[in-house]
Amino acid sequence: MRTLFIGDVHGCSAELDALLMACDWRPGDRVVLVGDLVAKGPDSAGVVRRAREHGFQAVKGNHDAHVLRWHGGHAAKGKKLKPEHRQVLDTLSAADWAYMATLPSYLHFPDLNALAVHAGLVPGVPLTEQKEEFLFNLRSIAADGTPSKRLEAGEPWGSLWKGPELVIFGHDAMRGLQKHPFAVGLDSGCVYGGKLTAYVLPEGRFYSVPAARAYMAL
Ligand SMILES: [Mn+2]
């Protein structure tokens, strides 16, 4: 069985369809979306519909968690909803929300010795003790070991991850595709006019398709 790990789709359903074609995807292949299925792009509902109708697995991204909080009436008090999130609240169906609510914050694939997570894992912290804040937002580790969601705060966390599991993640469109010994970053900025990228195991190949256009400024 092949497993297709796919970077941040952000509502880019046409590019998702094109990437699945480029990967020669067929029923029986396992597809894993590394989070941020929705928001910013043109067709969030179409992405969620494809994911649930085809039985794709996915982890929750920061934008997925954000719209789920608003949908559930748990948004932080006094915060305004941005248009790119309003559009998600206005278009997802009940079935789409039910699928979104099932998404875990990480997935473990023992057969591949791999993990999927949206943003990252703090090296040295056991999996069960990782905080959602970092699972959804981590980008960097400072010289003193402090984890951060900021790009400039230090080294990319994936460069410090020593395994043994291979971690496949997204979230970091500014750094783009990342290929570390034990971590692969797949956010190649599709919604910003970049590419949508897949990493396929066991073959270990990358596939990508260009965005039809930039749907948002990075
Ligand atoms: Mn993200």
Residue 83 lies in a domain: yes
Strands 114-117 and 166-169: parallel
- 186, exposed or middle or buried, with CB in 10 Å at 0-12, 13-18, 19+? buried
Q: Tell me: the pLDDT tens digits for 150-198?
A: 999 999 999 999 999 999 999 999 999 999 999 999 999 999 999 999 9
37 C-alpha to center of ligand 1: Å? Answer: 9
Evaluated on CA atoms 122, 126, 130, 135, the torsion sign reads: positive
48 C-alpha to center of ligand 1: Å? Answer: 16
34 C-alpha to center of ligand 1: Å? Answer: 9
What is the extent of the structural domain holding 111? 3-210
The confidence score (pLDDT) of residue 214 equals 98
CA distance 69 to 83: 16
2 C-alpha to center of ligand 1: Å? Answer: 25
Residue 216 lies in a domain: no
Residue 197 lies in a domain: yes
Q: Tell me: the pLDDT tens digits for 76-99?
A: 778 899 999 999 999 999 999 999
Q: Tell me: the pLDDT tens digits for 15-60?
A: 999 999 999 999 899 999 999 999 999 999 999 999 999 999 999 9
Residue 218 lies in a domain: no
The confidence score (pLDDT) of residue 75 equals 80
Residue 27 lies in a domain: yes
95 C-alpha to center of ligand 1: Å? Answer: 23
User: What's the CATH number where 66 sits?
Assistant: 3.60.21.10
Name the pTM for this structure.
0.96
Count of the separate structural domains present in the chain? 1
DSSP at 180: E
Residue 217 lies in a domain: no
Residue 32 lies in a domain: yes
